[in-house]
Amino acid sequence: MATNKSRKWAFRFALLVLLIACVVVPISVYAVDGGRVELLSRIVFYLNKRHYSPKPLDDTFSQIAFMDVINRFDPGKQFFTQGDIESLKKYQTQIDNELISGSDKFLTAVDAVYLKRVKFVMANYRAWAGKPFNLNLNDTIEADPKKMKFAANEAELKLRWQNQIKYQTITNYLTLTEVKSSEKKPLTLTKVNPSMEQEAHKKALTATQLLLERIAKHADDDHVSDYFDVMLSLQDPHSNYLPPDEKEDFDIGITGKLEGIGALLKEEDGLIKVVRIIPGSAAYRQKSLEADDVLLKVAQEGDQPVDLVNMRVRDAVKLIRGKSGTKVRLTVKKADGRIMTIAIVRDVVVIEETYARAAIFESKTTRQKLGYVYLPGFYRDFDDQSARNSTDDVARLVKQLSAKKVDGIILDLRNNGGGALQDAVGISGLFVPTGPIVQERGSDGKVDVLSDNDPSVEFKGPLIVLVNRFSASASEILAAALQDYNRAIVVGSPSTFGKGTVQTVLNLDHFFNWFNIRGGEPLGSAKLTLKKFYRVNGGSTQYKGVSSDIVLPDSFGYLEVGEKYLDHSLAWDTVTALEYDKYPSIDTKIATLGQKSQGRIEASPAFKLVGDNVARLKRRKEQSRQTLNLLTAYKEQQQVKQESKKLEKLGNTSASYTITILSDETPKKAELAKRNAEWQTQMNQDIYLDETLDILQDFVRGN
């Protein structure tokens, strides 16, 4: 049997052969001159052909690429006019040919038009918006670029910038109101204060100046990176071009060795948004920063804030990242519209927070003992076989729970973004005997089956897998396998994220260093989708994710989170189902348990609050126009604050249980006690865990 090490080297050798096959023929023709854009064009052309499901590089590809490049350059529709777009349309069917030939005519043309517009705005924005605003008018501004068109002409562009700076002024004014207010002396806004308007307006103009200077300074490098990122991401949203500094960020992300706040960020329509909070990080422990928060500004301790609107995510990360112990202040816009400042003390990730943990919930009425295993990620160090991994840790915890004679177990995969595939297979094997767990199909159509070959089963009792829409990749493989075997009931959001693809990261400089024919600046790397996952029943986890057997109200139901919301995501499809020994059907039990759960949810004040909040946030997202009237904006903020306070504490939801946390002697005793106390507080206030415990109690009783 092949060892992990031999399989790893076999994969690397096969990958090297693949890459050489991609580039060896054209290198002798074009690589000698070392032109970066030409080299990247040819590389991306060949990588696109090696994608798992390559799209034809034709005029249709070009037309889609044309608008994606335009939108990537100007996501907020603040610079290009309709006339500019029309002038560039002569290139919209030529991009595929330029990739083949290495031409940069379209890139050069769109870059020149964009920079011309940036300089035009720089020269005029103070004349357009330098005078004091009338903040009492009942005007509005469209905040969703997807609903906007490019400005029809320069006059409309002028109005757009006036309104944008006015909106920033109102935002700054509300922030100043918060700063000057306090619990003892709240500041009530009843009219426009001229001096505060002047201060807020000045900050908006300064932020605009810095934004335009930053764009003008970095546009060339950013646009080369953006252009090739678009060319790869047209194949699917997880295939990307990574310039050298982003590759460094990617490496940090997968190793976790980063001093900062611990939030995964993305660019969306010119804004920096929080995708998820990394377990164990400073932001995770501080608890105020959440998924879908928009980062508006960042300030170092004692310094003035820097505007993050229209900033590249890699530049934003550089401002947010810093040494442990230093403080960073983030001005964020919440999903409900609240503007607030969050102070976070930077720190390294507390590694123990990323490891699996377990507890026992003993019912005070039925005396049932219910096991709970929380798994924030599938962790494994492939370079250190002696390091902790998620399979061994979960196995140890499940054994401890079994020894305590728990009646059932909840495996919590909420917010688990995935990790090592090996551990998804290994953890599945803790609950089922030998058999297939997941299928992988490559671009050649060949299907490989990954199986659990260990006949031992660590726990045979009732099992629930708890998920939400942020459960992705390896989490979905584990949940799908246990669901397909009828081994577990999946509870949570209507479906998981839906990422069912496999990527590899390729160092583009290795191509040329290997042939020893180029020098100069680094080319960066490419992340390319090579495979797709399939369940043992033949269905893909891609796009659709894993559907819950029992659906709980989704507190993130207002968010468009998931593979199906990403541009150019690969479709759901099937392969041949495998033969595997299922457990007896639990469909009847699921139906009964679901009905009882629904009854409790409908009677729950806490879940009613969640439902009302989701409905409110959905309405707010649909009403994307923002007021430019200061007093109206202030009243909206105050109303949102009052409504959000209701959700800050949903009560001691697990008061009907006695909680015993399984000990882990890794941290020092004081650190362990503090960490366990914080975790117990979280569990006590987790209405989803509380309802899942009730479902498990019914499951155990056979109701």
Q: Amino acid identity of 425?
A: V
pLDDT of residue 21: 36
Query: What is the rounded distance in angstroms from the CA atom of residue 296 to the CA atom of residue 339?
Result: 9
Instruction: Give the pLDDT band (50/70/90) at residue 292.
Output: confident
Least confident window among 209-218, 417-426, 457-466 = 209-218
Is residue 494 predicted with pLDDT exceeding 70?
yes
Query: What is the rounded distance in angstroms from the CA atom of residue 97 to the CA atom of residue 89?
Result: 15
pLDDT of residue 32: 31
Phi, psi of 383 (to 5 degrees): -95, -5
Domain boundary among 313, 348, 383: 348
Instruction: Give the pLDDT band (50/70/90) at residue 667.
Output: low
Task: Report if residue 677 sits inside a domain.
Answer: yes
pLDDT of residue 690: 95
Tell me: do 226 and 358 sit in the same domain.
no
Domain that holds residue 275: 259-348
pLDDT of residue 334: 86
Is residue 31 predicted with pLDDT exceeding 70?
no
Tell me: do 433 and 532 sit in the same domain.
yes
Q: How many CB atoms lie within 10 A of CB 622?
A: 9
Task: Report if residue 32 sits inside a domain.
Answer: no
Task: Report if residue 20 sits inside a domain.
Answer: no
Query: What is the rounded distance in angstroms from the CA atom of residue 462 to the CA atom of residue 308?
Result: 49
Is residue 286 predicted with pLDDT exceeding 90?
no
Question: What average pLDDT does this structure show over 668-685?
Answer: 82
Tell me: do 337 and 358 sit in the same domain.
no
DSSP state for residue 74 in the 8-state scheme: -
Least confident window among 9-23, 235-249, 355-369, 406-420 = 9-23
Which residues lie closer than 8 Å to 543 by C-beta, 6 or more apart? 498, 500, 563, 564, 569, 570, 571, 572
Q: How many CB atoms lie within 10 A of CB 59?
A: 14
Nearest to 219 by CA among 119, 106, 86, 81: 119
3-state secondary structure of 268: strand
pLDDT of residue 58: 95
Angle at 422 between CA 248 and CA 355, to 5 degrees: 70
Task: Report if residue 247 sits inside a domain.
Answer: no
pLDDT of residue 629: 96
Which residues lie closer than 8 Å to 246 by C-beta, 6 or more apart? 225, 314, 524
Tell me: do 559 and 693 sit in the same domain.
yes
Tell me: do 423 and 557 sit in the same domain.
yes
Tell me: do 265 and 220 sit in the same domain.
no
Burial of residue 453 (CB within 10 Å: 0-12, 13-18, 19+) is exposed
Domain boundary among 348, 376, 393: 348
Is residue 255 predicted with pLDDT exceeding 60?
no
Query: What is the rounded distance in angstroms from the CA atom of residue 390 to the CA atom of residue 173?
Result: 48
Tell me: do 270 and 143 sit in the same domain.
no
Angle at 183 between CA 181 and CA 185, to 5 degrees: 55
Distances (CA, A) of 493 to 301, 410, 630: 39, 15, 38
Q: How many CA atoms lie within 13 A of 664 on its CB side?
A: 20
Point out which residues pair with 464 in neighbouring strands: 410, 489
pLDDT of residue 25: 31
Q: Amino acid identity of 196?
A: M
Contact between 324 and 259 under an 8 Å Cβ cutoff? The reply is yes
What is the reported pTM? 0.87
Task: Report if residue 16 sits inside a domain.
Answer: no
Task: Report if residue 628 sits inside a domain.
Answer: no
Tell me: do 314 and 178 sit in the same domain.
no
Instruction: Give the pLDDT band (50/70/90) at residue 522.
Output: confident
Question: What average pLDDT does this structure show over 381-405?
Answer: 92
Task: Report if residue 395 sits inside a domain.
Answer: yes
pLDDT of residue 305: 85
Q: Amino acid identity of 306?
A: V
Tell me: do 159 and 228 sit in the same domain.
yes
Task: Report if residue 136 sits inside a domain.
Answer: yes
Is residue 76 predicted with pLDDT exceeding 70?
yes
Is residue 627 predicted with pLDDT exceeding 50?
yes
pLDDT of residue 271: 85
Instruction: Give the pLDDT band (50/70/90) at residue 303.
Output: confident
Question: What average pLDDT does this structure show over 57-85?
Answer: 96
Question: What average pLDDT does this structure show over 379-395?
Answer: 88
Rounded to the nearest integer, the mean pLDDT of the chain is 86
Is residue 682 predicted with pLDDT exceeding 70?
yes
Angle at 529 between CA 527 and CA 533, to 5 degrees: 140
Tell me: do 375 and 336 sit in the same domain.
no
Most confident of 11-15, 44-48, 101-105, 133-137: 133-137
Which tens digit of pLDDT belongs to each residue from 639-649?
888 887 777 66
**For tokens 């503007």, what's the residue?**
339
Is residue 201 predicted with pLDDT exceeding 80?
yes
Domains of the chain: total: 3
For residue 298, give the CATH number of its domain.
Answer: 2.30.42.10
Which tens digit of pLDDT belongs to each residue from 427-438?
999 999 999 999
Nearest to 133 by CA among 198, 78, 191: 198
Tell me: do 228 and 270 sit in the same domain.
no
Is residue 421 predicted with pLDDT exceeding 60?
yes
Tell me: do 323 and 370 sit in the same domain.
no
3-state secondary structure of 625: strand
Instruction: Give the pLDDT band (50/70/90) at residue 248.
Output: very low
For residue 417, give the CATH number of its domain.
Answer: 3.90.226.10
Question: What average pLDDT does this structure show over 165-180?
Answer: 89
Is residue 414 predicted with pLDDT exceeding 90?
yes
Which tens digit of pLDDT belongs to each residue from 447-465?
999 999 999 999 999 999 9
Instruction: Give the pLDDT band (50/70/90) at residue 129.
Output: very high
Residue with more model confidence, 361 or 420: 361
Percentage with pLDDT > 70 across the chain:
87
Instruction: Give the pLDDT band (50/70/90) at residue 14.
Output: very low
pLDDT of residue 6: 39
Domain boundary among 320, 348, 376: 348
Is residue 153 predicted with pLDDT exceeding 80?
yes
Query: What is the rounded distance in angstroms from the CA atom of residue 177 to the CA atom of residue 634?
Result: 9
Which residues lie closer than 8 Å to 656 by C-beta, 6 or more apart? 363, 364, 365
Nearest to 242 by CA among 49, 253, 262, 471: 253
Question: What average pLDDT does this structure show over 566-576?
Answer: 96
Which tens digit of pLDDT belongs to each residue from 331-343?
898 887 788 889 9
